[in-house]
Every structure is written in structure tokens, then in C-alpha cells.
Amino acid sequence: MRLFNIVLFSIFIAFTSCNEGGQKDKSLLPESVGNINVLQIVTPNDLWTGIVGEAIRNNFAAPTDGLPQDEPLYSMNQMPPEQFTGFARSNRLFLYVVLSDEDKATIATNEYAKPQVGGVIKATSEEKLVELINKNSAKIIEAFHASEIKERQRRTSISLMKIDSLKNVMGVSLKIPSAYRIAKATDSFFWLRKDLKDGTTNILVYQVPLTMIQNDSTAVGDIIKIRDSIGSRLLPVEDEGQFITEDAYAPYLFKTKIDGKFAYETKGTWEVKDAWMGGPFVNYAIRDEKNNRYLILEGFTYAPSASKRNLQFELESIIASAKIE
């Protein structure tokens, strides 16, 4: 009788954990865990130490764009598949790479926890695994990035800065952590900053006419000219230095959207001319045709003794929250 009750209970759990379509009911999943931009790699040890592991590292631990020193896209931890059970499955990001009798690459959403994104790559040989990793890493990284932006924004929303003046003056609202403060505000320029243990993170908001950025071919030069003009005039630095774009490293230019509007995304490094100061920046020039302007939202970090990847990622997540009136 006891055995019958156990079997009956198991059947009950199996049915109640599925929805009407016979699929797993993901509303019962546990909350995911993990620091921002930490990726759990699930692959056998022998694959990790060979060409498959090298392909994983080349793609998912590649240097992050726009930082003055090399920092990987993701901080990675590896475990073999047999250990990927229980709490280990709660990591927010995971990459599952194994030999199999089929060749395929998929993206799994909320498979073991929520929110969660996993890249699953299976292949019949190590060479085919490498091929699929190289072919599919960009779309997997895109999914990871979008998930981590949402998670960073969720954490920010727990305690937000109240700043109605930004919306009233510049026609844009941002979800900014309460740790930030207004460093400078005029009728055409806002500078917000957060103090770190050794340094600051900063957000700039200003606007320029649409004619200031001509087209794709001149966009990088136009954006650098704009930010150097604004920075050298409006950001105070000691000993009459100038806050400008460092010309030793060519900035990265991407096309994206902010609040549904086209934007140029520029990543590079800044410096104070003739001084030992510098750091990374990410600049978004958002095409706002209704208001005949490019709205410029920029985040930059000064933290000489700290890693800067996640500091810049927080700034990127804040800017991605922009709502333009």
C-alpha cells in the first residue's frame, strides 16, 4: 500500500508540473542566482582542456569592447555535466556543450530557473562542436547580454534616484540608482555621478542638432568631435586639462535602438589631456527626429584600480532604460 501511494504521488507531481499542453509548468521554477556576467560552462573536463574549451574561451571570454585593459565578456566557471544538478542548475546563464548523436545549437529560456538563458550545443565530434560554437556564439551572446541588461535594471529598480528635472529639461527619463547624485545641471546639460571606493561612474545627458552627425561614414568622427567639444568645455579637470577621447585607440561603432529610436553606440576610452587620467566610455547618439536633435547619453568610468567591465555594464543598462518624451 505504501509503494502504491508513492507511485501515485509521483504521477500526481508529474502531471501537476505540466501545463495543459503537456509542457513543464515554468511558473514553479526557482529564482535564478549569480553575479552579473558570470557564465556557467557545462562540458566534460576532457573537452574543456582541448579544442572545444579553446573555442568556448575564444568566443565567450573574448575581450570586452571599449575597455582600456582586456577584461573577458563573461567570467566563466566550468563543471562536467554529471555535476550539473540541483542548485547548480540555478545559474542565470549557462552554456551546455557535449558530444551527442546529433548536431544542433539552441537557446533555452527558463529551463531550470527564472530568469535564465542557456546555450545548448551538441555535436557528433569535437570538430563539429568547435564549428557550431564559432557559428552560434554571436546569437547566444546577444541573448545572454539582453538577459543581463534586464537583470541589472531589475536590481537598479530596487532603489531609484528621484530626478524629475531631467525629464522636464531634457525630455528624457532614466532609471538611475539612488547612489547617484547631480554633479552639474543646466538648461542643456546634465552630469550625474556615483562615488566609488576609488573613482566614479558618470552619466552625461545633452543634445545637438540632427545636422551635427551627417551619415554612417562620418558618424565616428562627428561623435568624437561632439563629445570632445562638450567634455573639454563642461567637465572641470585640474591643471587646465581637457576631457577628450583618447586617440591611441580607435572607438568601436555599432548601430542599435534606444526606446525604439535609431542610435549610434560608440565605445572607446577617454583621457584628460597631459594628465595620467583615463577610462572607458559608452556613448549613445539617439536620433530624435520629432525634436530635431540627437539626444546624447554617455556613461564613463574613472576607476584606476578596479575592473571596469561591470561598471560600464551598469551604465549601459541605465541608458538602455531611457524613455524619450
pLDDT tens-place string over residues 21-61: 556 666 689 999 999 999 999 999 999 999 999 999 999 99
Q: Extract the C-alpha cell encoding 57.
A: 574561451
Alpha carbon distance 63, 302 (integer Å): 19
Alpha carbon distance 41, 60 (integer Å): 10
| Rounded-to-10 torsion of CA 40, 44, 45, 49 | -80
What integer best gives the mean pLDDT of the chain? 90
Q: Which domains does the chain have, with CATH numbers?
A: 25-156 (3.30.379), 164-324 (3.40.1000.10)
Residue 141 three-state SS? helix
Q: Does the structure show a pLDDT above 70 at 275?
A: no
Measured from the Cβ of residue 27, the count of other Cβ atoms closer than 10 Å reads 9
Host H or E run for residue 197: none
- Give the list of residues 6+ apart from residue 155 with CB closer than 8 angstroms, or none: none
> What is the tens place of the pLDDT at every residue in 210-259?
999 999 999 999 999 999 898 878 876 655 567 778 776 789 999 999 99
Alpha carbon distance 201, 181 (integer Å): 11
CB 283 within 8 A of CB 265: yes
CB 30 within 8 A of CB 43: no
Helices (H), ranges, the chain = 2-16, 45-48, 51-60, 126-156, 164-170, 219-234, 309-320
Q: Extract the C-alpha cell encoding 160.
A: 531609484
pLDDT of residue 202: 95
Residue 254 three-state SS? strand
Residues forming a β-bridge with 252? 267
Q: Does the structure show a pLDDT above 70 at 16?
A: no
> What is the tens place of the pLDDT at every residue in 176-193?
999 999 999 999 999 999
Length of the chain: 325
> What is the tens place of the pLDDT at every residue in 100-116?
999 999 999 999 999 99
Provide the edge-to-edge strand list for the sheet that holds 93-99: 75-79, 38-42, 93-99, 117-123, 104-109
State residue 63 phi and psi, 5-degree precision: -60, 140
CB 309 within 8 A of CB 203: no
Q: What is the DSSP letter of 123?
A: E
Alpha carbon distance 308, 180 (integer Å): 17
Task: Work out the average pLDDT over 124-140.
Answer: 98
CB 268 within 8 A of CB 251: yes
Alpha carbon distance 118, 112 (integer Å): 10
Q: Does the structure show a pLDDT above 50 at 9?
A: no
With cut-offs at 50, 70 and 90, classify the pLDDT of residue 17.
very low
pLDDT of residue 22: 52
Peptide bond into 115 cis (omega under 30): yes
Residue 266 three-state SS? strand
Q: Please say whether the dihedral angle defined by the alpha carbons of residues 59, 64, 65 and 70, taken in this order, is positive or negative.
A: negative
Alpha carbon distance 60, 64 (integer Å): 10
